[in-house]
Chain A
Amino acid sequence: MIGWVGISLGAAAAYAAFRVFAGYPARTGFATLARREIAFVDAAADTLYPQGAGLPSGVEARIAFQLDGYLRLVPPRMRLLMRLLFFLMEHATLFLPAPGPRGRRRFSSLAPEQRAAVLEGWRTSRRVPRRLVFTSLRALLTNGYVADPGVLRALGLAPFAIETPVCEADLLYPPIGRPKSEIRHRAVTAPSDGRPLDLAGPRHPAYVGSER
């Protein structure tokens, strides 16, 4: 009898764990983010930056892809904190359910309006730690959003194309991680003449065109 109870409880626990922690779709092209994290970031990205207002949506801006690259650059301790943030936000709705039916699901499984209500709750909370969590999440997602060249292009804020003069220091320093035998330049060029950049002039090649 106890064996059947144990088996039943174990099966229920396994099912619950599966519903909470597994069942995320596989994704390719990501080096750092786990599939659970990608699902959460995509859901949060389209809640913070939905379709409309003449700018790309969060998913169109490939926020998850940008964050995947960003996480590779930050130190391990910070990477861990970010992952904990994603984990917390993805699963907090199991304990603080979203409004409406079936609100006690992980964030990425909620309906769009439920996600918006959840994030709005964190944003406007009277509790400072909750607002800090929201601010941290929004900071990360916004970093990813404006890292997309298409967003800056749509905003009209693409960086200028600039011809970089070669100065004395450029004859001293090799590319990072390379020996001095690989210093790129052998002679200085005329320094900047202080001529103001032209607003109608060319913009940085990485931000020109329709490619993201």
Chain B
Amino acid sequence: MTAPPGELRVFAEYDRDFVETADVVVVGSGPCGAVVAKELACAGRSVVIVEEGPPFTPAEFEIDGARSMARTMREGGLRATRGYVMPTLQAICLGGGSLVNSAICVRPPDFVFDGWSEHFELERTSGKDLAPHFEAVSGFLGIAPTPDDVQGPRNLLFKAGCDALGIPAEPIARNVRGCRGSGECFTGCRSRAKQSMDISYVPAAMRAGARVLTSVQVQQIRASGSRVSGVSGQVVEPFTGRRSHRVQIDAKAVVLSAGVMATPVLLQKSGNLANRSGQVGRNLQFHPGTMVTGVFPDPVHPEFGATQGYQSLHFLREGFKLETFWSPPTALALRMPGMGIALKRRLAELPRSATWDAILSCHRSLGTVRARSGASLDPLLTWEFHPEDVKILGRAMSVLAEILFAAGAEKVIPGVHGLPDELHTPEEARILATREWRATDVTSGSTHVFCTTRMHGDPAKGVVDELGRCHDFDNLWIADTGVFPRCTSVNPMLTGMALAHRTAKAI
């Protein structure tokens, strides 16, 4: 029953319990796991990738946002934190979140890594140390700035507004080849332009001999003393999650790339492994996001253009990053205030609208990930929005409104409880900067998640060392954004992949 090198196994082909053996088993096929698997396979190691979700082909992409999320996201895309209630997402498909993200690849400025090194006793994690790893990943994926001809008015208006205010802005670098501006990154790229892991790193790993087991849920890491011997789990049916045959994978090393919310749950369910520091599942951080919509006098044709094509990193040290945004209208409509005819009139303005977002660096806002009782790997998440970070949210929304007006918007829709539904002048919009903000005045969401198995130079304060090896084990590694000691202030995928590249070299 052992799969031959380079083989992919799918749900329909499992007909009995089985055992696989490998040098390395990688749990999760998202951006970090895929990089580790490909690098190790290319180095001649026998690798098995285990992915709970199925592979999606374009025929299975759902254009409708809600249906797409129900099929590609855990908990149907309806996961939220407790405490401060904030929606958050985790993909369940081959390629992980890369299948349904907007392909943003931003390298954090050096001050981010300097902060990590200073506060978490890291000696080899400066921007310079990581540069070769960033370059390797960038070269493989063909990461490049979004070209002007697929920006579309929605993105170029952001540039115009920033230019008018003297705010530096730039095209977003993305892992895309041949983008046509369909704006469908979040539901799967029908142009096959986005280099998501399922069409880039995973096939490359398979060419190098990696075996891929899809629709297999890892439930247990097998450990004895300071070593692990593999993982065990079960076959799960796509979408229903029904469990069937038992699977065991014996390996000389285990790499957990199940994501910030599943990796700690897996460790907790395996007997609270790798947790002498007590840090597994703690320090949960997000980049909460917020959006502001501007309505322009002329059509913006927001459905055309790169999903997220322009950004400004100018305010990173203040704690926020600005981006353009497009999504299936589902998500945009959710932020529109009002109901009845007023709501429909606002919806009818969507073709003249541009929505831009800010992601916030929230070092002070922390939470936890805990395993639920029963067999589920879905986590219990708690998180609280720190009052000082809420102030940053207000500042970011104020800047977005300024840029929208500078770009020519005739009104701005902030979507904030207690404020007018529409702000018609920059003067009116100043209330965003001056008001007393409460976290509950606005609905945030976040797909950038960090720190639940953080790296730290001191084994008493972190779960992994700076190469990704668990302090408590010789051969258990973690490669996902959970190892970040702090959030990155910018979109984390590229940093996660660079760190995973370094981890692969260390295994």
Contact = CB atoms under 8 A, between A and B. Distances in A.
Contacts of A144: 66
B350 A155 contact: yes
Nearest to B372: A77
Given A55-B344, A155-B348, A196-B180, A174 B12 contact: yes
A175 B60 contact: yes
Contact of A47 (B150, B304, B340, B350): B340
A192 B193 contact: yes
Contacts of A166: 192
B330 A119 contact: no
B32 to A, nearest CB: 19
B178 A193 contact: yes
A165 B178 CA distance: 11
B206 interface: yes
Contact of B341 (A53, A120, A128, A199): A53
B281 to A, nearest CB: 21
B76 A74 contact: yes
Interface string A82-126: 000000000000000000000000000000000010011001000
Interface stretch (A16-24, A30-38, A176-184): A176-184
Contacts of B177: 191-192, 194
A82 to B, nearest CB: 9
B203 A168 contact: yes
Q: State which size class the interface on A falls in.
A: 35 or more
Contacts of A193: 178
Interface residues of B, number: 68
Interface string B306-334: 00000000000000000000001110011
A144 B302 CA distance: 21
| Most chain B CB inside 10 Å of its own CB: which residue of A73, A77, A158, A176 | A176
B76 A152 contact: no
A156 interface: yes
A64 to B, nearest CB: 14
A6 interface: no
Interface in A13-66: 47-50, 52-55
B275 to A, nearest CB: 27
B196 to A, nearest CB: 9
B241 interface: yes
B76 A73 contact: yes
Given A138-B339, A192-B180, A196-B150, A146 B330 contact: yes
A172 B339 contact: no
A168 to B, nearest CB: 5
B128 interface: no
B180 A155 contact: no
Contacts of B304: 160, 196-197, 199
B198 interface: yes
A146 B328 contact: yes
A143 interface: yes
24 contacts: A47-B339, A50-B340, A50-B341, A50-B344, A52-B341, A53-B348, A54-B348, A69-B67, A116-B340, A128-B440, A143-B65, A155-B348, A156-B351, A164-B58, A164-B190, A164-B192, A165-B191, A168-B203, A173-B10, A174-B12, A176-B239, A179-B13, A191-B193, A194-B177
Interface of B: 8, 10-13, 54-60, 63-67, 70-71, 75-76, 78, 85, 94, 147, 149-150, 177-182, 184, 190-193, 198-199, 202-203, 206, 238-239, 241, 301-304, 328-330, 333-334, 339-341, 343-345, 347-348, 350-351, 417, 440, 443
Given A55-B347, A152-B329, A178-B10, 8 more contacts: A50-B341, A50-B344, A138-B339, A142-B330, A142-B333, A179-B10, A192-B177, A199-B304
